[in-house]
Chains A and B, each alone.
Chain A
Amino acid sequence: MSSQWRYFAMRVLLMIPVLFLVMTMVFLIMRLGPLDPVSAILGPEAGAGARADIKERLGLNKPLWQQYIDFMWTLISFDLGQSWIIQRGLSTRELVAARAPRTIWLGFWSITLPLFVGVPLGFYAGLNSNSLGDYFASFMGIVWQAMPNFWLGIMLLAVLRQTGPGGQFGFLPNWYELGPTTQSLLGTPDLGFMSIGWLAVIPIPVGFDIWVFLSALKQVAPAAFVLGSALMVTEMRIGRTATLEQVHSNYVETAKAKGLKGRTIVWKHIFRNAMIPMLPVMFSEIGVLIGGSVIIEEVFAINGLGRLFFQAVYQNDMPLAGSLVFVFTIIALLFKILEDFLYTVIDPRVGFEGER
């Protein structure tokens, strides 16, 4: 028992060097790469004097090791610095605070698809392997996976846009008038559906506007669908394999020989064992979500963190881009810790160093 938790603590401690290494890499890539924030600020025709002036102010003329220490300190102290170009002078913390909820909103609805459709489908296919349903699910899965998300996003937009009156897909329900009416497929969802009151220092929800909630959901739905669909297929396929492997294992036969009900065997015995290989897959999707949000937020014009990062890199906003990678890394590592925790809870063999 205790060896299990020692193992877990070790995994958590190991995150620190990982974070350090990632940030060093990011620093090197940015400084050694072709990013030129000075030209981005002044435009390509600026004189040498103005360039030197700006360089001085941004601290770009300091020796590289000193820049490195400044960069790392900004991150470690969670100061995160400020934007140079996109929102000049605005602190990264303010930018993140304003944009993160939209990305979280998108991410939340994205994982509902893999979690509530992909996983159950995978279990179904595994439990009914080689049935017609299994073949159908597997086939659709391959087709689905073959569509990259930026392409799927554009296709979905093209179809939805044509569902209005006179459009080529007019036979489909009009997306713009389905549920809360929306003006555009693109754009940032309005998340003001929850009014927050303060009880001393504790925030408590005091009001909830279902209509605003629904329109926020509708605004983000196509993007979430695209982002989630690739993950859904991965989870379905891994879920199928994992379940299938458990179905044919000896302990299932033992359980049957005990006279257990089929339902108990599936939910108590097979499910938990099948979750073990599923967990890392589910959590590795956090990375896919972050990476995917960069592209999808750009395609769907959602002003979230992903889009902010895309713009920061595109417009040479070095400190903003660096700080955002730091934030993404922290999020990924936190989920990694959660994964290790769940893994330790589900599988008693974790960290066991006896004879096997």
Chain B
Amino acid sequence: MSIETQLHDTASSQEPIIDVKNLQTAFFTDKETILAVDGVSFAIRPGQTVGIVGESGSGKSVTARSIMRLIESPGRILEGSSIRFTRTGTVQTFATKFDGQVVDVTKLENEYSPAQLLEDPSVDATPQEFDCDHVSEVSLADVLASGYADDLGIIDEDDCVFVTGGTPQNPTDGFVEITRVSGEAKRLMRGGRIGMIFQDPLTSLNPVYTVGNQIKESLRLHQGLRGREATEEAANLLEAVGIPDARRRVEEYPHEFSGGMRQRAVIAMALACEPEVLICDEPTTALDVTIQAQILELLADIQEERDLAIVFITHDMGVIANVTDKVNVMYAGEIIETAGVERLFENPKHPYTRGLLESIPGSQTGEKLRTIDGNVPTPTEPATDCRFAPRCPKEFDECTQIHPELVPVDGEDEDHVTACLLYPEDRSTPQAVEYHQRQARGGEDR
């Protein structure tokens, strides 16, 4: 298929549409605090498919649900996390619609400086959390958006539109902070800007309403269509996702659809909102292989047609290779390796990624299937070591004492990074370990 080649030319040069920065989502149970997502950062660009891959319990789905703001009590997105929707058109729409929730960052920059805010005793943040080496690199928007400044009374709790260029009435630059949206703004973001497809098509449709009814619900909400017009559009959407005899099918109930059909209907429902980003949380896991291929093809077609940004979550390396442009490998709440899809499959660096690729049954020779022994640990405390160390074939002493940072594999290229003490590979292991330690402290040697 051609999505990969077609997108490689344009995608990397484009500005991200969603920028996830230092996302931390934790679940607070009576017994313990589970850091399901622990400091994840990545960007999503229009027309590009970003893959998130990992075992069960690695935090993939929680990442997706955090972007959708579907995390419910006892779960919470922690202070310091930032998910930015940066498309200017959306920022303008939100700034006009929710004019009481706009923050004029340019104006505030005259009054406050980031350095001054970070020194305030009530702000518990370090420049490293904003992916900066020094205080001077931190921008005011970073500090405000991540929620650190709420206690200082600079911005209100429900302020979510940050304008960094132009005026609040007509912003030319800025972002909508997804971790801060609430109420009407949150509902406009969900569906209308970011759509989501869930794992189990059998249960993600309401059994007591017709498929058409549920699609029309989206159409009415986000496009204002009603009555006959909406029915017409719902049938068109079903046709667009490859459901034959769509005009009759609109009137049918989910139980009259097969599994693959239902997933198509769910996709149609997500598309009805005309989102700019589509999050697919294991959309093909519950389907058999032939249907899986059809659904993947459908998603590729839709992406091409609508220039959608797609976040694709799966544990299936084969699917990842097929559909994505860029891959984030997650382990125990952290991204441990990021690279372009071809590079990752040709040249995986992190021992975990290698293990994952080696355990694909088809690619192996020999009697026994090679696997990674053990399970993903449940992260309950901030990492002070490598969380993969207990299962790692290349583990050495420092692995249990030093938390590896994401570093470029060859020391320079930011397109392929991994969090392993063995890298960058142009340094000897003691040097690399030292490099990681310095990075963790803020890399003051640079």
Contacts and interface: CB of A to CB of B under 8 A. Distances in A.
Contacts of B205: 251, 254
Contact of A349 (B204, B255, B270, B273): B255
A143 B205 CA distance: 38
B208 A250 contact: no
A272 B209 CA distance: 10
B67 to A, nearest CB: 11
A354 B255 contact: yes
A235 B195 CA distance: 37
B335 to A, nearest CB: 23
A208 interface: no
Contact of B208 (A253, A257, A272, A355): A272
Given A258-B273, A259-B273, A354 B256 contact: yes
Interface in B261-300: 266, 269-270, 273
Given A348-B253, A349-B255, A255 B192 contact: no
A259 B192 contact: yes
B160 to A, nearest CB: 15
Nearest to B269: A258
A346 B188 CA distance: 30
Given A257-B191, A348-B255, A250 B273 contact: no
Contacts of A112: none
Contact of A260 (B187, B189, B198): B187
Contacts of B204: 250-251, 253-254
A255 B206 contact: yes
Interface stretch (B216-224, B239-247, B371-379): B216-224
A249 B258 CA distance: 20
B190 A259 contact: yes
Contacts of B191: 257-260
Contacts of B217: 255, 258, 260, 264
A349 B253 contact: yes
A259 B198 contact: no
B221 A258 contact: yes
A254 B198 contact: yes
Given A249-B203, A250-B198, A253-B70, A259 B222 contact: yes
Interface string A230-271: 000000000000000000011101111111110010001100
Interface in B161-210: 187-192, 195-196, 198, 200, 203-210
B406 interface: no
Residue with the greatest number of chain B CB neighbours at <10 A, chosen from A250, A251, A272: A251
Interface string A326-352: 000000000000000000001111001
A258 B253 contact: no
Contact of A348 (B200, B208, B218): B208
B68 interface: yes
A329 B256 CA distance: 37
Nearest to A349: B255
A251 B253 contact: no
A258 B198 contact: no
A255 B190 CA distance: 10
A276 B188 CA distance: 31
Nearest to A275: B208
Contacts of A250: 198, 200, 203-204
Interface residues of A, number: 26
Contacts of A88: none
B187 A259 contact: yes
A273 interface: yes
B190 A256 contact: yes
B188 A259 contact: yes
Given A250-B203, A347-B208, A259 B255 contact: no
A57 interface: no
Contact of A257 (B195, B203, B207, B209): B195
A341 to B, nearest CB: 16
A268 B209 CA distance: 9
A355 B259 CA distance: 10
Contacts of A257: 68, 70, 190-191, 195-196, 198, 270
B70 A256 contact: yes
Contacts of A268: 209
B206 A269 contact: yes
A170 B9 CA distance: 88
Contacts of B266: 254
B206 A251 contact: yes
Contacts of A258: 190-191, 217-218, 221, 269-270, 273
Interface string B210-232: 10000001100110000000000
Interface string B65-101: 0001010000000000000000000000000000000
B360 to A, nearest CB: 29
A349 B207 contact: yes
A62 B217 CA distance: 70
A348 B253 CA distance: 7
Interface in A133-167: none
B255 A253 contact: no
B203 A251 contact: yes
A8 B407 CA distance: 67
Given A254-B198, A258-B221, A352-B255, A273 B207 contact: yes
Given A253-B198, A254-B266, A256-B70, A261 B187 contact: yes
A356 to B, nearest CB: 7
Nearest to A356: B255
A237 to B, nearest CB: 23
9 contacts: A254-B196, A254-B198, A254-B205, A254-B266, A257-B191, A258-B191, A259-B187, A273-B208, A348-B210
Interface of B: 68, 70, 187-192, 195-196, 198, 200, 203-210, 217-218, 221-222, 253, 255-256, 258, 266, 269-270, 273
The 7 A-B pairs of least Cβ separation, nearest first, read A259-B191, A259-B190, A250-B203, A257-B196, A259-B187, A258-B191, A251-B206
Interface of A: 249-251, 253-261, 264, 268-269, 272-273, 276, 346-349, 352, 354-356
Given A257-B196, A258-B270, A348-B210, 9 more contacts: A254-B205, A258-B191, A258-B217, A259-B190, A260-B191, A261-B187, A347-B208, A352-B255, A354-B255
